[in-house]
Amino acid sequence: MTLANQMHHHRPIQSSDQALIWDLLHIALWDPPPAGLRPKEVLDDERVRIYAADWGKDGDVGVMALLGTQAIGACWMRLLPKQQGLAWINEATPQLAIALFADFQQQGYGESLLRSTLDAARAAGYRQVSLTVHPQNPAKSLYERCGFQKAGQRRDYHLMLCKLAPLPARLPHSVQVFLYREDHGQRHWLLLQRHARPDLALPDFWQGVSGAMEAGESSCDAALREVWEETGLRLPNITDTGFSHHYPIKPEWRAAYGAEPNDVTEHIFCAQINAEPTLSAEHKHWGWYPFEAALEMLSFENNANCLKAAQACIAHPEKTP
């Protein structure tokens, strides 16, 4: 398969990507022509290092763009202390950087990467993001298309700010999908590890594919959409286990759901697959596990009960509604 035919996709930036982030930060330090890249030693400057050092700090949000398994660029943001960073506005506004390796610039990858990262920022609870851009940098038009507006001047650079609208109120219905594969008579279950969300009082934890239903969706449609969004896999069909359960809405979630619902109903599905997932920005790890090992990975009892329902559905398909 040629690189051009491989799938363009995104995943969260991981601490193991540190070397890539340094290379991309070097590219992001754009100067107008005829200047080329600055000497690599610029990355030793503490005023530059603050944007990428020790990636994975609390509040860091970043998305890596890939073609197949090859990293082609990244977009990332982090909170910095008072008055640090050229795009500093306040201690609640992360400063953003984006770069693509030279062979992949001016091909449309930047816009999808930036939009994906802004979605990740919104999901992380941020309400605005800042950056600085040289007025001659062609990326300025990309930022404007994605909602950034000029908010001031910082030395020779435009300060730009993107306001992130709050996510629409969630429906009190969700889905969870347990994907499995059969390998030489052994069944293994796919589990995904979510990033911690301190703003929602959630640690990082393992579960199946999950997410809220959207207005006008059936639970089956929501399950298929979530599988696509979280794993990059298009499923032709999916099995409703007939099992559902309720979990209470925590005080930290109230703003997302509004005043009325007190709990969420989660509908459980399962499906067999024969491919590897491509993680979304919501997750940090994935793995295949035999049933008993998978149960031990699930720290929430509700999720363990959901996996048991999926296992029972496969063992006794005649009981599936």
Q: Distance of CA 80 to CAs 140, 227, 308, Å?
A: 23, 35, 44
Give yes or no: residues 145 and 226 share one domain. no
Q: Please state, in angstroms and rounded to a whole number, the distance separating the CA atoms of residues 292 and 206.
A: 14
pLDDT at 167: 67
pLDDT at 42: 96
DSSP 103: G
Q: Give a yes or no: residue 215 inside a domain.
A: yes
pLDDT at 197: 79
CATH number at residue 96: 3.40.630.30
Which of 133, 163, 193 is where one domain is finished? 163
Cβ–Cβ < 8 Å for 129, 164: yes
pTM of the model: 0.60
The encoded tokens of residue 301 equal 């009892």
Whose CA is closest to 186, among 265, 79, 288, 313?
288
pLDDT at 18: 96
Alpha carbons within 13 angstroms on the beta-carbon side of residue 267 total 21
pLDDT at 5: 40
Collapse the DSSP code of 211 into the 3-class scheme (helix H, G, I; strand E, B; otherwise coil) and give the result: strand
Give yes or no: residues 156 and 184 share one domain. no
Q: Give a yes or no: residue 244 inside a domain.
A: yes
Which of 98, 130, 163 is where one domain is finished? 163
pLDDT at 157: 96
Pairing mode, strands 95-100 and 70-78: antiparallel
Cβ–Cβ < 8 Å for 153, 312: no
Give yes or no: residues 177 and 282 share one domain. yes
Give yes or no: residues 225 and 300 share one domain. yes
3-state secondary structure string across 184-197: CCEEEEEEEEECCE
pLDDT at 46: 95
pLDDT at 282: 80
What parts of the chain have a pLDDT lower than 50? 1-5
Sign of CA dihedral 215, 217, 223, 227: negative
Range of the domain at 196: 173-316
Which of 163, 198, 213 is where one domain is finished? 163
Give yes or no: residues 232 and 197 share one domain. yes
Q: Distance of CA 260 to CAs 48, 129, 166, 169, 257, Å?
A: 47, 31, 18, 11, 8
Q: Into how many domains does the chain fold?
A: 2
Q: Give a yes or no: residue 168 inside a domain.
A: no
Give yes or no: residues 17 and 156 share one domain. yes
Q: Give a yes or no: residue 9 inside a domain.
A: yes
Give yes or no: residues 187 and 158 share one domain. no
Q: Please state, in angstroms and rounded to a whole number, the distance separating the CA atoms of residues 226 and 241.
A: 16
Give yes or no: residues 299 and 247 share one domain. yes
- According to DSSP, the residues that pair with 151 across neighbouring strands are none
Collapse the DSSP code of 249 into the 3-class scheme (helix H, G, I; strand E, B; otherwise coil) and give the result: coil
pLDDT at 3: 43
Rounded to 5 degrees, φ, ψ at 117 are -70, -40
pLDDT at 1: 36
Give yes or no: residues 159 and 114 share one domain. yes
Q: Give a yes or no: residue 92 inside a domain.
A: yes
Q: Give a yes or no: residue 321 inside a domain.
A: no
Collapse the DSSP code of 271 into the 3-class scheme (helix H, G, I; strand E, B; otherwise coil) and give the result: strand
pLDDT at 80: 96
pLDDT at 68: 80
Give yes or no: residues 68 and 189 share one domain. no
pLDDT at 4: 40
